[in-house]
Structure 1
Amino acid sequence: MPNASSLRRHPRAGLAYHVFTSDRRARVSRRGERTAPEVSLLTVGDSFSWGHGVENEDTYTARLARRWGVPAANLAFSAYGTVQSLQMLQRSLDLRPRLVVYGFIADHMKRNVSPCAPAYGPLCLPLSHVGVDDRGQPVIRRPDPGLFAMNRRFWDEFFFAKSVGPRQVLVAAEAEVARLTRTPRPEAPDDPATRERILERLLGDMARAAGSVGARLVVVNIPYFERGGTSPMPAPLKDALAHLDEPNLFVLDLAPVVERYYANPSAPLLRFERDRHPSPAAHALIADAIDGLVRDQGLPAAR
């Protein structure tokens, strides 16, 4: 939503933070802040990159923008996968970024083939996803627009109702029927080989989209920040990147970085105690790692 302003509270996780968005739906730090007509840094990804649980100033995108002294646009968003990250980049190319950062987490591989977004409600929240064509090749499918109306009614008349009466019971029953009869199933198989083919297609498209405006693309593998064991880069992502030969594509694997960090047993946790999203310390770690790659490779975002 453009020009949004709210305070989000998550009592169970003990989190509270402000959400402001610009005229371009980018996350910003103040009410009314606008996205520059052109930016040097553009970020896509999901809530790990958007900054669930932290103020915008603490996100790795905002940290890098301050460090480099450049305008930036954080266009990541909760529940996004590689598909939505690609689409957001494609529709934002008029911002002419010099550097595009895609924050990948392992769950994107599952999201890429799911017709339904991760959501709190019982109904399918439809979104674009990957299917397969007659030749078995990955193809992006549109969301089912017919599912939006039932979602909207369920939230308006049940979740946001001030009391529970016959109307709410009826809406809940209708929602359950819709869940049982209208929830779409993934079209593409969710196996390692298919995951790799899908990522190769989507990341190739992402690199070419970035390249069309002269930008470099950095794919950042963000592991889950658990202490006591950091998972390596998922094999489908590793294989997909190995098969791509795009000159503007760079890779940053944070798994070894996180593993080295936790080698110090007294190091603070990089996730929240009751939520697995990155803490401000994790965003600082990610920013440092991206800054190091940019400077080592001589990429054009930093002044």
Structure 2
Amino acid sequence: MRTVLYLLAALLIGLVALGLVEITLSALVPAWRPTRPERSLWRYDPLLGWSHHPGIHTSIHAPHGRFEVRINQQGLREDDVPLAKNSRRRLLLLGDSFAWGYGVDVRERFSELLERRFPLLEVVNAGACGYGTDQELQYLRERGAVFEPDLVLVLFSPNDLENNLACAQYGWPKPCFVLTDEALVPLNLPVPETSTAAALVRRLMSSTILLGRLAGFLDLGALMFHDHEPEEHRRFLESLTLPRSLDLQWRLLRELERTSRGMGATFLLVTTPLDQGIQRYFATRATDAGLRYLPLAPPLCRSLAGDAFEGLDDLQVVQRCYSQHLLETTSLPNDPHWNATGHALVAAILGDWLVGEDIFKDTP
């Protein structure tokens, strides 16, 4: 009995000590605090890996400040969307945290600003933090069609290049694809559910400094979910080259376009600032395929520079913009996500582009 009491006392002392270390680190090294509190809104989803808990209304306390989040009954950061369409043209927006509006209130997002500029446009923002193009394709195929969109806009971000090569991320299993004889083959569907113990570790990893840092050092996420990676995917990655990786990205986008066309919607591809080589790859492929494509980097940089870059081509504009760190004025502190200024600029650029593409010419 005495031994048991000693063990319980030692355990209690150890927990108190760990708690004090956690509090001390949080006070002395705030940069080490968990930085993605929005993941507490996620739940297991057999189609997508994770999705939002419906009906949540909360405040997210992020490193740069606080912002409000309300999730509707459809799992979107939106008001409830009636399935029956009205006279407005409906645009379904797919993307990750840039589309979702990480770091800003809903009224500041570019999707809401577009609606204010174009009263005959209804934007259904289906963006979700952490999603790759593979998850967006699954969403469009299985859930997006119920909205009967006239337009489908995919916002592609640089981290999608990594997301689309993973069958598990952020401690969550997810769907993934491989290319076999130029065909897209889906894997990890339905997405396997994690054990209660793994879910607890995942929660601690995302909410505590100590375990979060230890998880990063030991790559616990990869160790925990190694068994959720199909053998076909491992073999695909072992033989993967950069051109083959880009081919996979493009095939996912083309399948999104084909699916959009199948439901009678116009497909629009927009990329946040990318590596210039990858942007040229997308631009060439989009031109060859006749897709509407807007890379945001050149117009964003021109908007920020005013007349300073007049007479330069897009490549020169982006190079100077990056070297002068102009895009930092559109981002959150120490975070690439757009601030309210960034969303306003993106909304203005997208709006002008939509007008130039005659998107509204058939609107009653």
- Cα root mean square deviation, aligned: 3.2
Distance 1:27 1:76 in 2: 8
Residue identity opposite 1:113 in structure 2: L
Checking the alignment, whether the CA contact within 8 Å between 1:6 and 1:18 is kept in structure 2 is yes
Residue correspondence of structure 1 range 1-303 to structure 2 within 5 A: 1=52, 2-11=54-63, 14-28=64-78, 33-37=79-83, 38=85, 40-69=90-119, 70-90=121-141, 91-117=143-169, 119=170, 124-133=171-180, 135=181, 137-142=183-188, 145-147=192-194, 149-155=196-202, 178-179=223-224, 182=227, 184=229, 186=234, 187-188=236-237, 189-223=239-273, 231=276, 234-245=279-290, 249-264=291-306, 269-300=329-360
Q: What residue is the counterpart of 1:170 in the other structure?
A: none
Identity fraction in percent: 20
Task: Pick closer, same or farther for the CA change 1:58–1:157 going to 2, 3 Å.
Answer: closer
The alignment of Structure 1 onto Structure 2 pairs a total of residues equal to: 273
Q: Flag the structure with larger Rg.
A: 2
- Name whichever structure is richer in helix by fraction: 2
Q: Please state whether the residue corresponding to 2:329 is helix, strand or coil.
A: coil
Give a deviation string over 1:130-185, Cα, whole Å, max 9, x none: 2233x364322125515354432324678779xx9xxxxxxxx9x78953864747
TM-superposed deviation, 1:104: 0.7
Give the stretch that moved more between structures: 177-186 or 60-69. Answer: 177-186
Indicate the SS of the match to 1:238. helix
How far apart, in 1, do the equivalents of 2:111 and 2:188 lie? 29
Which digits, 9 at most, give the CA deviation of each residue in 1:213-261, with x for residues without a partner? Answer: 321111111117xxxxx8565344334424434xxx3111111112213
User: TM-score w.r.t. structure 1 length?
Assistant: 0.78
Q: 1:206 and 1:177 mapped to 2: Cα distance? A: 28
Identify unmatched segments of 5+ residues in structure 2: 1-51, 212-217, 307-323
Greater shift in the superposed pair: 197-206 or 233-242? 233-242
Gap change, CA 1:92 and 1:139, over 3 Å in 2:
same
Structure 1 residues 284 and 157, CA gap change in structure 2 (3 angstroms): closer
Give, in whole Å, the separation in 1 of the partners of 2:262 and 2:222: 46
Secondary structure at 1:85 match in 2 = helix
Distance 1:96 1:239 in 2: 30
Query: Does the 8 Å CA contact 2:109/2:343 hold for their aligned counterparts?
Result: yes
Paired residues of 1:197 and 1:240 also in contact (CA < 8 A): no
Contact 1:5 / 1:20 at 8 angstroms: preserved in 2?
Answer: yes
Which amino acid in the other structure matches residue 254 of structure 1? L
SS at match of 1:147: coil
Q: 1:239 to 1:195 in 2, by over 3 A?
A: farther
Task: Find the aligned partners of 2:179 and 2:358 in 1 and give their Cα distance.
Answer: 38
AA partner of residue 142 (structure 1): N
Shift of 1:77: 0.7
Matches of 2:99 and 2:249, distance apart in 1: 19
CA gap of 1:197–1:157, structure 2 versus 1, over 3 A, is: closer
What is the Cα deviation at residue 292 of structure 1? 1.0
Q: What is the alpha-carbon distance in structure 1 between the residues aligned to residue 343 and residue 329 of structure 2?
A: 12
Matched AA of 1:59: R
